Structure 1
């Protein structure tokens, strides 16, 4: 056990702020007062290196023990590696453009790999899988020949050995899971099938019930046949059963984890790790995953923690080959960029980008460019004709390439696109009648008021036309109805968000991306290859389509490398998202034979972290050897010269930062002003300003005080192969400076104000229209003439006399640069002919030194196990709040917190023990609890009556007290952020529902989508059940009855309508 006051002190030093941004009222507060002698600074670096070295050698006792425990676990052996390459010939059919994608007479032979490896514990009597003899009476037979990867995976199961199957969507992974279930049922064993989402669990329950009969379902809100031999459940339910010591677990022989790549999810991924670690070693596993590049690493982890073999079977087999097209916004058609043989068509790609340039304008100075007034709707085009999405869908329908799934990254965009298509009708009379019948049956269980909900009434006309919408804001019953209609072929076009690509087996012939950029909560970025693979994998129905078609709509330029990386790139790695929680720590302290330290030892996070240590050590050895090989005669002299130059560079950068502050620089960013630009460490030399504007970028609350971002359009001399494109932040990519006069290619480049290195006195008169290449070359010739006239030394603006920077600290900074430059001139090496070579050699040595220091920090971090320090801090919090004793024995508060996993366990437990709920009515209690399960962003702030605002204040006061205790225990918790995560925006909605309001009435009280409301109520019911269990654990029957009555109040009507799959 840990001593409360022992600390690792791994990160004991403080870092100083950089001189990055300068505000109007505080230009220079942190200028260094004294210039350190070079030898003193170098000595300090050596001391830092020594300290780092000591940290690597002299470790805390607990950490040392932790390391020993991890090291004692035997390292798995990777064996039985083989690859099979299989090829097949497919028909050379006409593509979406009406002609074959390969030359006439050319055969299309597609090959795919099946790769096998196994991680085996040392001394395990492993028999190569090629020597496996299938049983005479297999657990399950199929009316078709199994694909090679399926045969290998089934052989692993027959040998009673775990297997990870990594394959594309629709490749046939479910066959492997079905075989494991059939084998368990044949051997009278129990099997658990886990899935990441309830909708997928419901769907699998239905499938397996039809197939196997003896199947149960456990998803928290629904429990059916819990004593069945095959249990379908969510991963959270399995985790809960493991912590509770459920009798069922003792009978389980196999566990199937569907969509195991979900383990990398930042919020829920930890649940997968917990459950895998806590399952008994005797259990065997089937892991089904999308393609992941580090599958073997995962198999080695399973082998190490459970001391059993774990096979990986990987295939890039795709039953239906895909063709990938680009559709440039406002363009005249589609362009095949990757064919079914996975060849990238560079010429077609460039044609698509050229079509985009023609439609949108390539030059910021041109009339078609995107400026303040040039906003475009990706559904529109440049000629005010039909929207692009309308044109694409119409083309797909005419060429019979439906059904089509159209992926968008926002719910509102899905609905807007569906409305654009609402005048078209893709269903005949009999199909419309079938839609009516399915729809009527689906809503037959709802009351009359719920049937009249706007969402239900508005969807039916669209569905009758063969058009559907699928996103998280839909009512669950509507989502399921749409899924059923899509599976039955009654929907020809489905507008969906990314979640539709997860789990549900609903392929289409064509997939369309309305954009290949998405906002991920932090920034707008290109879709990753893993995301693209997951969504595009919905294209092509096995056995029905010769080809699957993917169309990417693009409304801005992209580099060929970006497109290749997206379409042909590697899928996302499965990295651990393990993180500690108070609920986990308390549960582990209660379970015999395990502990929080045990969980940290065994988790995938530690396994991956430890894998980096040998690599860091090898890199360190190489760098140290390289540094030692650089011997410089008179190193002391060049080191002092080097330090002086570095000081000048630092202060010069500080001066430039002040000069470029918008307050001082914007008045001089007039058209024609000559400026020198350095962008991405490339010197573009002198250019002429054309325009300057403020960038209206999305800001987070934490950025309120940050300096506004300005973009300056500058005429710069670029290389002939330069192509102006933009990255996620709107910065130019694909540009390089010209290397000589022969390849002069002046372009108008929009760059950040911060890329300007120097501002000159000179202003030129430039033509207003610089769209033609000849006009740009003539304008740039004027710049060259100015440069020639001043012999390359173009006069610069004086920051004090011309730009009016009068701050005394700025003058002090300028004086320091002058003093340093004098010291450089007086230095003995200044006049030495060897100075250039000496300086370059010493700079290289210093760069290696920095790399070594960086590696040492990484090594210290890797060896310290940051989460072990966090565990100690969290344990302190639990002791301070009275959840555990000083010897880590769980107290009554801790036992209550163990029952709560759907809300903040510390805050809810404190509220119970403070008697907050005792004085509240049932309706008030349920309303307060809604703050713990609602996590969406809402623009309007909640306006609450006193009966709700009073308990909210009590809750917030308790949250602040917890945050203060956490910070005293070194948890570095942002108090306002912590309190702000409990959102009161739906308190009045929930309160009204508890008092008997209709669903249509509460929908009018908020802008939150109906589907999101229902999700909140269902999570709320789950939390109320946990609160009942918490009250029961301390014998508070009055509180238990209050929460139980809360469940009765919310459990009604459409919110808890039964799933269509059950």
Structure 2
């Protein structure tokens, strides 16, 4: 859709030919940009005249009889903003009778929720959108609200749902049309183009069985849209399946317990994941043969009548590699020294960022993690009032505190006046201070390099008049040898890779005492039997916490908070402030858990694994408060959590607490604490959600 006009992507009856009208729009946009109409303002490309407004696009779909529609956006905030925009535009897509039915359905579904929770959830705003036939649908929405949206949409009462891509996975919400505002999404790290499989998954929601003859996928025009690239997305018909299966610790102890290590390994090697890995070896083997054939040709081409040029070329390569290693080692030493200096900084220390775009004096607001395994990321205030976390990429040499400033009690980094006052003090203190950039020390002449350079000068081939021509062939020869070694390693790595990973998992379990080897046969130990009941993603970490007694003696709210740290995965960026934590026993438990994670991480590293993710304390305070009886309103107001996220993570904490209670002995006091924690958590909107499940 460009403007308020819909264009067919392909010429009728010629699915390989893109509509000429769309290509004309591309030419018009290019011409406009060349004439100055496409200049960027504030770093952003101006809105194209062909890009329809959301309300206009929906109005056009309504007039064309293409509602109900799923309008895909790739952010939760974008979905919520779209609903507000349509409301503000006065869009109303339902009849009076439909509005009555919608209100009755919403009231019936939410009648058991406490009024205070409804207010915290923005119920009235949500209901107002429903009555107009408009709603959002994403993971941040309360599960009960999502169920109401899905039910009303299936009945045809809701006309437009603004949704994230998760709606396209496993939810029965067929529509007459599907709208894609852009063909680019944020994957958590960067903006990436939609793949053909993702495009088909999203647009495949268009067309209701038994109602519509065909569905309509509508892509809104936006700057940079390439109709030919869109045609490629729309015309792709086959998509590769890729297995993500990997053996886990819980899976390993259960398999070994039931059928033994050898039989378990054989079963895993018949998995689809191993089939895919083995199939990929065929292509690698073909490439390996081609490189071996080329190697012989390069060897003949580099022959020298004065001596063994392969030997000469190898000495040259060894010397170059040694020099690169020395340079890298020196850089590593400087980096480690920089890390050490960053870890030594304390609140109020002033230091200089020596170079780069962000050079200048800064004052430390938060030194960051005290765990020596974590990368130091102190939060600082710059002289121009910016609060950010220092990236270790910026600090290439050690830094030191050149002065110290007292941070006012109750300083709030989010308050503009507080930042302004502190930045002014920083500028005053550093105005007369000078600093010199640390010079990098030369590593000097390395004896090994000098010896190899001497061998090069005295080699017979060094005096050959065609030496550099031979050297070019030798470079190709050496490169081919490296590629052959790499291909051989990749072939070896993919053959029986699932079985080898299972062996590595079992080795970690044996080292930590969950498995034992008796007469060449792996056996489950008592800790291994406990681990059989822990199927959370951080199963081994949870098992170690139980074995070490880390959670023993905690109250129910404290246990709930501590357990949340192995469950929760935050959406925070690294520049955000350290999470708020309750005091007392919870903090001590978290410190012990961090040490246990470090031990597990080291054990995994010794066996070539990296399975257990680090702790995330971003949900601890909210979980502790909820288990202590706080209201939903107070928690949502004091955190960045949405209602849907709060319910989802709380349900997962309840799940892990249930696993913990089962894993413990029947008379263990901590088992009753886990039961008590579940009872304290499973109330209000959480309890009502669990009843629906």
TM-score of the superposed pair, with normalisation by structure 1: 0.49
Shift of 1:845: 6.1
Aligned counterpart for 2:549 among listed residues 887, 912, 915: 915
CA distance in 2: counterparts of 1:557 and 1:586, whole angstroms: 52
CA RMSD, Structure 1 to Structure 2 (Å): 4.3
> Within 5 Å, which residues of 2 pair with 1:366-445?
366=36, 368-370=38-40, 373-375=42-44, 381=47, 388-422=53-87, 423-445=90-112
CA distance in 1: counterparts of 2:396 and 2:498, whole angstroms: 32
Aligned counterpart for 1:858 among listed residues 484, 487, 490: 490
Whether 1:925 aligns to 2:592 is: no
CA distance in 2: counterparts of 1:634 and 1:464, whole angstroms: 80
Q: 1:996 to 1:547 in 2, by over 3 A?
A: same
Give the equivalent residue in structure 2 for 1:337: 9
Whether 1:1001 aligns to 2:666 is: no
Give the equivalent residue in structure 2 for 1:943: 580
Cα contact 1:529–1:569 (8 A) shared by 2: yes
Cα contact 2:538–2:566 (8 A) shared by 1: yes
Give the equivalent residue in structure 2 for 1:952: 590
Residue deviations 1:444-465 (CA, integer Å, cap 9, x gap)? 2222323333422211111111
CA distance in 1: counterparts of 2:266 and 2:596, whole angstroms: 32
Shift of 1:486: 0.6
Give the equivalent residue in structure 2 for 1:21: none
Give the equivalent residue in structure 2 for 1:1019: 652
Shift of 1:367: 6.3
CA distance in 1: counterparts of 2:38 and 2:543, whole angstroms: 60
Give the equivalent residue in structure 2 for 1:605: 273
Give the equivalent residue in structure 1 for 2:369: none
Whether 1:1056 aligns to 2:687 is: yes
Cα contact 2:121–2:643 (8 A) shared by 1: no
Aligned counterpart for 1:961 among listed residues 584, 589, 599: 599
Give the equivalent residue in structure 2 for 1:882: 513
Higher normalized contact order (CA 8 Å, seq sep 6+, divided by chain length): 2
Shift of 1:621: 3.4
Give the equivalent residue in structure 1 for 2:292: 624
> Within 5 Å, which residues of 2 pair with 1:94-113?
none
Q: 1:357 to 1:405 in 2, by over 3 A?
A: farther
Residue deviations 1:395-449 (CA, integer Å, cap 9, x gap)? 2222222111110111001111111111211111111111111111111222232
CA distance in 2: counterparts of 1:918 and 1:356, whole angstroms: 66
CA distance in 2: counterparts of 1:601 and 1:872, whole angstroms: 12
Cα contact 2:26–2:226 (8 A) shared by 1: no
Cα contact 2:51–2:221 (8 A) shared by 1: no
Q: 1:845 to 1:506 in 2, by over 3 A?
A: same
Residue deviations 1:544-589 (CA, integer Å, cap 9, x gap)? 3344222223544255663343222254311221222211111111
CA distance in 1: counterparts of 2:295 and 2:531, whole angstroms: 55
Residue deviations 1:514-533 (CA, integer Å, cap 9, x gap)? 22111212321101111100
Q: 1:962 to 1:509 in 2, by over 3 A?
A: same
Give the equivalent residue in structure 2 for 1:278: none
Q: 1:509 to 1:991 in 2, by over 3 A?
A: same
CA distance in 2: counterparts of 1:1016 and 1:664, whole angstroms: 42
Shift of 1:999: 2.0
Give the equivalent residue in structure 1 for 2:531: 897
Q: 1:403 to 1:701 in 2, by over 3 A?
A: farther
Structure 1, unpaired ranges of 5+:
1-324, 655-662, 667-697, 708-805
Cα contact 2:9–2:18 (8 A) shared by 1: yes
Cα contact 2:136–2:163 (8 A) shared by 1: yes
CA distance in 2: counterparts of 1:650 and 1:900, whole angstroms: 48
Q: 1:997 to 1:393 in 2, by over 3 A?
A: same
Shift of 1:626: 5.0
> Within 5 Å, which residues of 2 pair with 1:125-274?
none
Shift of 1:502: 1.1
Q: 1:367 to 1:606 in 2, by over 3 A?
A: same
Q: 1:1059 to 1:959 in 2, by over 3 A?
A: closer
Q: 1:972 to 1:537 in 2, by over 3 A?
A: closer
CA distance in 1: counterparts of 2:64 and 2:645, whole angstroms: 37
Shift of 1:644: 11
Shift of 1:1012: 0.7
Shift of 1:898: 1.0
Whether 1:635 aligns to 2:303 is: yes
| Secondary structure class of the residue paired with 1:959 | helix
Give the equivalent residue in structure 2 for 1:983: 616
CA distance in 2: counterparts of 1:984 and 1:545, whole angstroms: 49
Residue deviations 1:254-273 (CA, integer Å, cap 9, x gap)? xxxxxxxxxxxxxxxxxxxx
